[in-house]
Amino acid sequence: MKQGRKAFEVMLPLIVFCLLLGGSLTGFAQSSGQIDVSGVVVDESNEPLIGVSIRIDGTSLGTTTNIDGEYSIKGIAKDATLIFSYVGMNPQKEQVKGRTKIDVVLTTDATMLNEVVAIGYGTVKKSDLTGSVTSVKPEAITTTPSNSVEGLLQGRAAGLSVNNSSQDPGAGSTVRIRGASSLNGSNSPLVVVDGFPLGDAGDLKQINPADIVGIEILKDASASAIYGSRGANGVIMITTKKAKESKTIVNIRQQITLSQKSTKLDLWRDPVLMASLNNEGRINGGLDPLYVGKVNSTGIYYPSIEELMTTWDINTRWDEITLRDLPVSNNTTVAVQSSNEKTNFALSANYYTDQGLFINDDYKKYGYHLSVEHQLFSNFKIRVMNILSRNVRDNNSGLAYWRNPIFPVYDENGDYYLTNSQDYEHPVAITEHRKQQSKGIDVISSGTLDWQIIPQLNLTTQLNYKYGSSISDKYYPKKYTEAGTFSNGQAQIDNWQGQNLVSETFANYNQDFDKHSLSAMAGFSYETYTERSSGLTARNFVNETLGNENMGAGNPEQNSLSNGKLDTKLVSYMGRVNYTFDNRYLATVTFRADGSSKFGKNNKWAYFPSGAISWKAHQEEFISRLGIFNELKFRASYGVSGNQGISAYQTLSRYGTEKYYNNGSWVTTIGPGYVSGWTGQGGINRVWSGIPNPDLKWESTQQFDFGIDMGFFNNRLRIGFDAYIKKTKDLLRQRNLAPSSGYDRMWVNDGNIENRGVELSIDGIILSTPEWRLNGTLIMSHNKNKITNLGNTLESGLIEDPMTGMLFEYSGNSYEKYRDYINILAIGQPMNVFYGYKVDGIVQTLDEGIRAGLDGEYAQPGEFKYVDLNGDGSITEADKTIIGDPNPDLTMSLQLNLGWRNWDLGVFFNGEFGKDVYNTKAFGEPSNQPLRWTIDNPTNKYPSLRDGRQSMVSDWWVEDGSFLRIQTLTLGYTFNFKNSWICDKIRLYANVSNLYTFSKFKGYDPEVGLNGVYTGGYPRLRKWTFGVDFTF
């Protein structure tokens, strides 16, 4: 809270000072005489305009035109000025000068007609787009503080999926465009900042959202194929701020955020109930009860139920010890921009801090952005851009806030109260003795030379450089942590460094003649990437005082070292031609050739063509005569893009090294092959290695897109629709090899994936008057993902479902609770579907369990009644089937903006529908344990409590994960100062994110990872942000 008070103390004097200087906030001078004014407003075709806003300059007073374009204003000053404004038209000012009748002709706003969007190595008028490109307005996302742009893009564009499942400070998001197209390669879209192809969506963390002026999402192959091997997953194009006006402007943005849990924690508050249920579960599992007033085998005294009810006074609220009451975050941005006839520059600095819910769990980031442009000659410009970002992450998440409440924090000697010698969950001990800190720095620089050779021909050369480095410091003490206990103290230092250099030269040619318009682009790109990493681990510390700051205190014989280096190169040629005839018929052809060092000698190069056509039907006379459409455009495109998202050297023979401890000494072995004697236990361990595959080639994605863009009521209502088919073949996958080969695995091209979907976006200006404004955007997306091939059954090791013949393989991680996998990859099914048993309630009698095909402990009353699907009279692996799909059928968002005078109110809804979540916490939690099956409560919903139960993966754990969330709610007020020599504008606002979630899901939050498995954690944080923006 000190941080919040300090920021408020800085903000308050600035606000008061500007208010005092802005003497003309609401009043305006009137002459002594007043008159009534009326008139008609028409367009250039002399057609009356309905709903034109007429406002008296300097006030919020005014009116609108009726169905005939007529208006009337009574009692205004003779020397007043009227402002006429209408969507898609140029605003017009008219001085009254004593006139009582003023007719106005509004002209079409050429800036809207000529609005351009970035499409990669050039721009195009939005009205001339042939591909599927969506623009996101930065002002829609900047009122919500975030360490990265990616999380703020959730729900902002049709076909763009953003998963924010982690709430840890500094955590990133998972971004997909039109579904996943790869199983082992990258699925993240390419990020391009000011023409610099940075990498995947994780690189958006390096960009301050306040520095962004344009965001374009390139979705279809026609738009993204210009980036060839990196365009298969779509492209996110970011344009940062540059000075435009011939004056100096200073902006200051200060935001303070307070966080709170959006739902209550599911914890034991009643020790008596907890102990009673624990005893019941142990007895049912054939174990002795724990809470009987005795010391157990680990030396811990567990009170009896009677003691807990009478004399026991310890009831530790671990959540109040491990979790912050009100985490505070800060976001400060100071920006200045200025320009003259030849030079303009924009400079901003940002400081961002984010406190996590857990104590000492923090993230800090600070940096700057600089952009300078200079007109060296009349036809030659130089641009320089530099972004620097530093971050520090102190990781203390995952503390056991659910710890047993009968355990005190300290024992009678003042030491930590531990339940045994291997108590690795004491949150205070871990917080005070464990260290997990990482630091990073990122630099993005680019220099651009822009030469207008002739009016029709432009040549651009851009040199881009990106540098990143990080260091991770960890220390695990001898006590309190598993790694430290096993190693008698363990310290780790890991270093990473990456450098990316991209040189690009391209020419753009534009020529208009008669009814023809032609533009062409041709270019060359060369990219080199170098990465180095090293790590040192020390164990068996003589003295822990300095931890990993004194690695020499560890036993040098048990130190382990690692290092690595990789280099990759990518060479590309690209070209694009746009042709327009009579401003009605448009065509685009794109081609790119990429040569990558990641692939074998037989497939170094790949070629990515695409084409698109478009018809502006509203320009046809027979359509325009209807008087319905302001825009009616049909689009169709087809193209191929690629994916090279694997590590370097995968096509080469690779040798692995392994260091293991055996019979009192460390042994280093070099593979390929196998070693025995791992950790002195006589086991077998594979040495990491890979067999060469010179035929390894690119994943390639073919995509067909059909779209319609429509505009009505002078474009007050706009509708965009797209339907697409996206097929990826030659999936990059790792195939396990037989031990006899001497290698463990190799990369191959195996499998196909298909995505089909539709997208709909509706933008509407519902109300526009001098005082009131109301508009909204509705976005809906449906994507159906399907695996169509997983390669050769025998070589790929696929499993055949005995009932359906479906071929599949297990995916992800095995969960100890079930000792089995939850997700599978199956031919003919979406990615990561759930695979397990069906459950038909709870067994009520032993006879019922036996008749259901169960035996042993599974047939007892209170157990899950698994379904014998194949009817063979027993429950076996053959009874498994698909039990759920984590992929949503529909994603939807709705943005509504309401304005009244200087007030603005915005609400943003975001939701996913028709998806399943596998809830591993559906039973065994404090909220559901009391609902268990007993003889007195023979429920058919919950099983009995029984320690040692080996649950099987089943649909009992699957829940409807659909949700609709009030993502953000923003209320703001803007002060405009016409006569202030200090402040031009101040905007005050309050924003709340994650306000409320409508869902049937029983866990904390239905927005989980893409595999759809919920494992607990803590409730989604509701964040209250209070901000002020100054413009000087």
Average pLDDT over residues 73-83: 90
How far apart CA 259 and CA 396 sit, in angstroms, is 17
Rg (CA), the chain: 33
Among 233, 130, 231, smallest CA distance to 636 is for: 130
Asked if 902 and 971 touch (Cβ cutoff 8 Å), the reply is no
pLDDT in tens, 805-818: 999 999 988 887 78
Q: How confident is the model at residue 485 (pLDDT cuts 50, 70, 90)?
A: confident
How far apart CA 790 and CA 729 sit, in angstroms, is 10
Q: How confident is the model at residue 580 (pLDDT cuts 50, 70, 90)?
A: very high
Domain residue extents for the chain: 31-111, 115-243
pLDDT in tens, 245-265: 667 889 999 999 999 999 999
Token digits for 807? Answer: 């071929």
Asked if 763 and 631 touch (Cβ cutoff 8 Å), the reply is no
pLDDT in tens, 527-576: 999 999 999 999 999 888 888 888 888 888 788 888 889 999 999 999 99
pLDDT at 225: 86
The label of the residue with tokens 């699907």 reads: 869
Average pLDDT over residues 1025-1030: 95
DSSP 283-315: HHTT---S-SSEE-TTS-EE--HHHHHTT----
Return the minimum-mean-pLDDT range out of 29-38, 128-137, 431-440.
Answer: 29-38
Q: How confident is the model at residue 25 (pLDDT cuts 50, 70, 90)?
A: very low
Asked if 917 and 1012 touch (Cβ cutoff 8 Å), the reply is yes
DSSP 172-199: --EEEESS---SSS--SPEEEETTEEEE
Domain 115-243 belongs to what topology? Answer: Ferric Hydroxamate Uptake Protein; Chain A, domain 1 (2.170.130)
Among 873, 872, 770, 785, smallest CA distance to 827 is for: 785
What is this structure's pTM?
A: 0.89
Within 8 A by CB and 6+ apart from 461, the residues are: 448, 449, 503, 504, 505
H helices within 541-695, ranges in order?
621-624
Asked if 954 and 909 touch (Cβ cutoff 8 Å), the reply is no
Residues paired with 1030 in a beta bridge = 252, 986
pLDDT at 967: 95
How far apart CA 142 and CA 792 sit, in angstroms, is 49
Of the two residues 662 and 84, the one the predictor is more confident about is 84
Length of the chain: 1032
pLDDT at 205: 83
Peptide bond into 672 cis (omega under 30): yes
Among 709, 766, 730, smallest CA distance to 898 is for: 766
Among 65, 61, 35, 32, smallest CA distance to 50 is for: 65
Strands (E) across 455-559 are located at: 457-476, 490-513, 516-539
Asked if 805 and 778 touch (Cβ cutoff 8 Å), the reply is no
DSSP 979-1023: S-SS-SEEEEEEEEEEEEEEE---SS-S---TT-EE----PPEEE
DSSP 220-283: SHHHHGGGGGG-TT-EEEEEE----SSS-EEEEEEEEEEEEESS-------HHHHHHHHHHHHH
Average pLDDT over residues 756-777: 93
Q: How confident is the model at residue 687 (pLDDT cuts 50, 70, 90)?
A: low
pLDDT reading at 155 higher than 70: yes
pLDDT in tens, 361-414: 999 999 999 999 999 999 999 999 999 999 999 999 999 999 999 999 999 999
Asked if 444 and 466 touch (Cβ cutoff 8 Å), the reply is yes
Residues paired with 402 in a beta bridge = none
Asked if 373 and 381 touch (Cβ cutoff 8 Å), the reply is yes
How far apart CA 722 and CA 589 sit, in angstroms, is 20
Q: How confident is the model at residue 696 (pLDDT cuts 50, 70, 90)?
A: confident
pLDDT in tens, 266-279: 999 999 999 999 99
Asked if 181 and 190 touch (Cβ cutoff 8 Å), the reply is no
Average pLDDT value over all residues in the chain: 88
pLDDT reading at 355 higher than 80: yes
pLDDT at 469: 96
DSSP 35-90: EEEEEEEE-TTS-B-TT-EEEETTSS-EEE--TTSEEEEEEEETT-EEEEE-TTB-
Average pLDDT over residues 206-231: 88
Strands 328-339 and 343-355: antiparallel
pLDDT at 683: 40
How far apart CA 827 and CA 798 sit, in angstroms, is 10
The label of the residue with tokens 């682009």 reads: 521
Token digits for 630? Answer: 């302001």
Structure letter (DSSP) for residue 159: T
pLDDT reading at 1011 higher than 80: yes
Average pLDDT over residues 679-703: 68
Q: How confident is the model at residue 110 (pLDDT cuts 50, 70, 90)?
A: low
How far apart CA 993 and CA 999 sit, in angstroms, is 17
CATH of domain 31-111: 2.60.40.1120
Asked if 10 and 37 touch (Cβ cutoff 8 Å), the reply is no
How far apart CA 97 and CA 365 sit, in angstroms, is 56
Asked if 40 and 68 touch (Cβ cutoff 8 Å), the reply is yes
Four-residue CA torsion sign, 857, 859, 861, 863: positive
Of the two residues 692 and 71, the one the predictor is more confident about is 71
How far apart CA 372 and CA 386 sit, in angstroms, is 9
How far apart CA 235 and CA 200 sit, in angstroms, is 9
Percent of the chain scoring above 70 in pLDDT: 91
pLDDT reading at 665 higher than 80: no
Report residue 308: phi and psi, to 5°. -60, -35
pLDDT reading at 170 higher than 90: no
pLDDT in tens, 933-952: 999 999 999 999 999 998 99
Q: How confident is the model at residue 17 (pLDDT cuts 50, 70, 90)?
A: very low
